[in-house]
Chain A
Amino acid sequence: DSGVTQTPKHLITATGQRVTLRCSPRSGDLSVYWYQQSLDQGLQFLIQYYNGEERAKGNILERFSAQQFPDLHSELNLSSLELGDSALYFCASSGQGATPYEQYFGPGTRLTVT
């Protein structure tokens, strides 16, 4: 158990809809990262938040957005969903100290768009 929690575990929705994925980082971790794993693309970085502020952005679509709240949990919002958005979405967190680059992953949310 990494200490990172994600809900829901599975999500099935239709094209054009909007969903919200939730992540709670490990206790004390200020950084939250979102990754997408699809069959043909592997694990791809989407976005990073640090203590409530956006820190880095990857190949995140404009239809996707995220935020990190004062209690440090994060939400990833996916809108106008397309079939190609079906994937596993992982959240990871990292802390300060000697190993700030080690990221600990949650169990993921499997999104299926039909």
Chain B
Amino acid sequence: DQQVKQNSPSLSVQEGRISILNCDYTNSMFDYFLWYKKYPAEGPTFLISISSIKDKNEDGRFTVFLNKSAKHLSLHIVPSQPGDSAVYFCALTSSNTGKLIFGQGTTLQVKP
């Protein structure tokens, strides 16, 4: 039973363009949503988060959008840079449990 899905295993974009990474979930109990970036042989690095009471949160080049009715989360990176090339995971949690449920990840390649 996969509660969190990142349906695109990979994404390739040109430097300077927008990268859009998507995440779908099935359970309405989630009320806090996070994005992590991961390089090979390193731990996930926290990027940005959003709570269920908001539909958008921005931090520099990164914006997270939440559509609760569609149970859909997206991360926009603009402008994309070659250093953004990594695996991106969405992770969801609920306020009554601390554990994060991760998607399978999307590998982003930003071409110079």
A74 at the interface (CB under 8 A from B): no
Residues A55 and B43 in contact, CB atoms below 8 Å apart: no
| Residues of B participating in the A interface, judged by any CB pair closer than 8 Å | 32, 34, 36, 41-46, 49, 89, 91, 93, 95, 97-105
Do A33 and B46 contact each other (CB < 8 Å), given the known contacts A101-B34, A101-B93, A102-B34?
A: no
Give CA–CA (A56, B97) in the complex, Å.
Answer: 7
Give CA–CA (A90, B41) in the complex, Å.
Answer: 11
Give CA–CA (A31, B42) in the complex, Å.
Answer: 21
A104 at the interface (CB under 8 A from B): yes
7 of the cross-chain contacts (CB-CB < 8 Å) are A2-B46, A6-B43, A43-B100, A55-B98, A58-B99, A92-B100, A104-B46
Residues B44 and A101 in contact, CB atoms below 8 Å apart: no
Do A102 and B44 contact each other (CB < 8 Å), given the known contacts A31-B98, A56-B98?
A: no
Give the contact-size bracket for chain A: 20 to 34
For B46, B89, B105, the residue with the greatest tally of chain A CB atoms inside 10 Å of its CB is B46
Q: Which residues of A contact B100 (CB under 8 A)?
A: 33, 35, 43, 45, 92, 103
Q: Which residues of A contact B102 (CB under 8 A)?
A: 42-44
How far in angstroms is the closest Cβ of chain B from A70?
A: 20
User: Which A residue sits closest to B95, measured CB to CB?
Assistant: A101
- Stretch of A13-21, A76-84, A105-113 with 4 or more beta carbons under 8 angstroms from chain B: A105-113
Give CA–CA (A33, B105) in the complex, Å.
Answer: 20
Q: Which residues of B contact A50 (CB under 8 A)?
A: 98
For B49, B98, B103, the residue with the greatest tally of chain A CB atoms inside 10 Å of its CB is B98
Residues B99 and A108 in contact, CB atoms below 8 Å apart: no
Do A101 and B98 contact each other (CB < 8 Å), given the known contacts A42-B104, A42-B105, A43-B89?
A: yes
Q: Which residues of A contact B93 (CB under 8 A)?
A: 101
Residues A45 and B101 in contact, CB atoms below 8 Å apart: yes
Residues B49 and A102 in contact, CB atoms below 8 Å apart: yes
User: Which A residue sits closest to B42, measured CB to CB?
Assistant: A107
